[in-house]
Amino acid sequence: MTQTTRIILDCDPGVDDALAITFAHGHPGIELAGITTVAGNVGLDKTTANALAVASFIGAAGTPVTAGCPAPLLRPALDARDVHGESGLGGAVLPEPQAGPASGHAVDFIIGTLAAAPGEITLVATGPLTNIALALRREPRLAGWVRDFVIMGGSAGRGNTTPAAEFNIWADPEAAAVVFGAGWQVTMIGLDVTLRTRPEAPVLSRMRELGALGSDLLLPALGQYKSVEGDPAVHDVCAVAYVAEPGLFGLVPARVSVETRGQWTSGMTVTDFAGAEPNALVAMEIDTGAFWDLVLGTYSQVAAAMR
Ligand code: BDR
Ligand code: CA
């Protein structure tokens, strides 16, 4: 019998977040216990509306979507509309969702859900880390309650929003500093691997065979998803794919410190592979071919269930 991993996905959809939600819903080894939203790629109203619309469209309307923080801990909210489009979903226009957001705040949902099942649920964050930092500040035992904690964020090398910083860390570096300093192990799925997941022609062509999932969500979303470094990558899908198939990734222990003060380096994840007391496992290798086989296979199952 396949063992399933329950996850909470904290996200800011976002084209690649939408693709990550779809993967999490469709993979038989993952049970999506809840989606929480945060301001990031677009404002909180839009990330929440997008999460609801995607969940409803793919047949996951029963998954609770709980809204969280509308702005970073200390800084003004700066979005990534230039990358993800005005709506946050690129060129995808989805039907009105069947359900509204769950009542309550994402921080309470995260604390309450993990408290009820300590050691059982993996927390995956694919947006700025504001909700997670606040949850840790409110309930430091959270760090011991997760089965695993996985983020898409950071880089051991260069950034994508500035030369030094990746978007999710750059958007709320103070939150990221709290999260990396919480005494738990952060599995950091950063640009070192995610930039190797750009959907090229053969991948797009397989998406064309996925009926409405391909024609109404995946392809129009990706079609208007821009990136400064050329074809954009499906960063956030990597974090959820890691939960499903950790063997696709090569991880190295490291001490990761988040720069919050540097004039040119704010949001940098300074990654010391030789440092004492590692606080992170940093993904440095990915089997890209196997990754796409896994992702497209999972999308086929979602598409079949939608027919
Ligand atoms: C990350 O930033 C966002 O724009 C994407 O959704 C992803 O989470 C990549 O740097
Ligand atoms: Ca994201």
For 15-53, the pLDDT digits (tens) are 999 999 999 999 999 999 999 999 999 999 999 999 999
Distance 234 CA to ligand 2 centre (A): 9
Distances (CA, A) of 108 to 41, 42, 112, 243, 304: 22, 22, 6, 23, 35
> What is the position in ligand 1's atom list of the atom closest to the CA of 84?
4
Distance 232 CA to ligand 1 centre (A): 10
Distance 276 CA to ligand 2 centre (A): 30
pLDDT of residue 156: 98
State if residue 135 touches ligand 1 by the CB under 6 angstroms criterion: no
State if residue 235 touches ligand 1 by the CB under 6 angstroms criterion: yes
Q: How much of the chain exceeds pLDDT 90, in percent?
A: 95
What would the pLDDT profile of 44-68 be if each residue is shown by its tens digit?
999 999 999 999 999 999 999 999 9
**Ligand 2 (single-atom ion) residues, CB below 5 Å:** 12, 14, 17, 126-127, 236
Arithmetic mean of pLDDT, 228-247: 90
In contact, 8 and 112? CB cutoff 8 Å: no
pLDDT of residue 231: 66
1, pLDDT greater than 60: no
Q: How much of the chain exceeds pLDDT 70, in percent?
A: 98
What would the pLDDT profile of 253-278 be if each residue is shown by its tens digit?
999 999 999 999 999 999 999 988 99
In contact, 113 and 121? CB cutoff 8 Å: yes
pLDDT of residue 230: 63
Active site residues: 235
CA 190 to chain centre: 11
**How many domains would you assign to the chain?**
1
State if residue 236 touches ligand 1 by the CB under 6 angstroms criterion: yes
pLDDT of residue 229: 63
What would the pLDDT profile of 159-214 be if each residue is shown by its tens digit?
999 999 999 999 999 999 999 999 999 999 999 999 999 999 999 999 999 999 99
Q: What is the CATH number of the domain that holds 196?
A: 3.90.245.10
Q: Which long-range contacts (CB under 8 A, 24 or more apart) does 215-220 make?
A: 216/57, 216/92, 216/93, 216/94, 217/18, 217/22, 217/54, 217/57, 217/58, 217/92, 217/94, 218/19, 218/22, 218/299, 220/90, 220/91, 220/92, 220/93
Structural domain span for residue 68: 5-306
What would the pLDDT profile of 88-141 be if each residue is shown by its tens digit?
999 999 999 989 999 999 999 999 999 999 999 999 999 999 999 999 999 999
